[in-house]
Amino acid sequence: MTCEKDIDRRGQTAQGDEDDGDARTGRRGFLKDVGKAVASIGALAASGTALLATKQTAQAAAEPGPPAIAGYDWNEHQWGYGIDATRCIGCLRCVEACKAENDVVPTAHHFRTWVERYVWLEGEERPHVDSHSDPDNVAASGSEKEYRFDNRYQGKKVYKAFFVPKICNHCRHPSCVQVCPTGATFKTKDGAVLIDHSYCIGCQYCVQACPYGARFFDPRTQVTEKCTWCYHRITKGLKPACVEVCPVNARIFGDLNNEASDISKFVTENRVQVLKPETGNAPTCFYVGLDKEVS
């Protein structure tokens, strides 16, 4: 698997700056031009130019340019994600694949995707909930880089239990994008919510604003991180790593513009739900098999 990360606003990868010419049409190119202009006309004109730059670059932040990826047109796609919670067996291959594919911080406190376990014991009204990052589960694994659920319910009378995979919901009205003070995080035309790591100031306002806990602060790079739906893969016609490795097809990904796609079928053939609809975030991650206790 490739490990191309750091996708910026134009969808370029850190390793793949092959098309620098086009990049000049983006915000950075514009800023360079502004910089040159300012240098030449002197300090007096600088304030006026800065005002102009502010106005125009603010527009650029609101409307990111298309990604410079050969053969990919983001106007042609509308990506969607599906999770069939009734199928998930809690094997956590998705979590490990995501960590490896995207070079996610290898600890039990940084995840782009995770799996929750809900267990009702006989005689109890509310479920016990945990995830693989629970200290007991980490102890059972013996490592913060490999994940598993322990056997804590062995011998107990369980009357209902299931797993729920979680991931960034790539919302239609993402509260993280709303609050970002610089526009470093943005919604793409094809539906993904991405972060321009070179522009993020690391204020973590977005981490606070996400109702789903999908974002985290990367202690190595000092900027915010989250799921990209493996944008470097999907723009090449591949599936996200978590979907690719799921042995039971609990995770579904595809193009909502294509009626024959897995995700279109998943959404039309099932009565799907989203998490926390009351927030108004309108997720594009659709669920089957949720329970009233899942939020």
Partner 1 sequence: MEGTFHASSYIGYVYPNETIIPWTVMIVVYPYMTGLVAGAFSVSSMYHVFGMEKFKPVARFALLTALCFMLFVPMTLLLHLGQPQRAFNAMVTPHLTSAFAAFGYFAAFYTLLLMIETWFAFRADNVIRARNSTGLVRTFYRTITLWSDDISEKARAYDEKWMLSLAIIGIPAAHGLHGYVGFVFGSLKAREWWGSDMMPVIFLFSAVISGIAALIVLYTLVSKLRKTPIDEACVRGMAGALWGFLMFTVLLEGLEFANVVYKGKEGIEVIMEYVTGPLFYRYFVLQFGLGAIVPIIILGIMFMRATRGKAFIAGAVIASLLVLMNVFLMRWNVVIGGQEIAKTMRGLLHYHDPGGRDGLAVALTVLACPLVSLSIL
- Tell me the window of 13-21, 78-86, 222-230, 256-264 that interacts with partner 1 (CB under 8 A): 222-230
Order of strands across the sheet that contains 128-131: 128-131, 113-121, 158-167
| Six token digits for residue 175 | 């509260």
Out of 49, 78, 107, 270, which residue is the one contacting partner 1 (CB under 8 A)? 107
Residue 131 touches partner 1, criterion: CB under 8 A: yes
Is the sign of the CA dihedral 69, 9, 101, 179 positive or negative? negative
Residue owning tokens 């600890």: 107
Residue 209 touches partner 1, criterion: CB under 8 A: yes
Out of 79, 114, 266, 286, which residue is the one contacting partner 1 (CB under 8 A)? 114
Out of 60, 94, 263, 285, which residue is the one contacting partner 1 (CB under 8 A)? 60
Q: Are strands 128-131 and 223-225 parallel, antiparallel or unpaired?
A: unpaired
For the window 158-197, what string marks contact with partner 1 as x by the rule CB under 8 A?
--------x--------x-xxxxxxxx-------------
Do 12 and 23 meet the contact criterion of CB atoms below 8 Å apart?
Answer: yes
Output DSSP code: residue 74. G
Do 81 and 257 meet the contact criterion of CB atoms below 8 Å apart?
Answer: no
Do 167 and 112 meet the contact criterion of CB atoms below 8 Å apart?
Answer: yes
- Tell me the window of 15-23, 73-81, 208-216, 243-251 that interacts with partner 1 (CB under 8 A): 208-216
The residue ranges that bind partner 1 (CB under 8 A) are 27, 31, 50, 53-54, 57-58, 60-62, 105-111, 114, 116, 129-133, 166, 175, 177-184, 199-205, 207-224, 279-280, 295
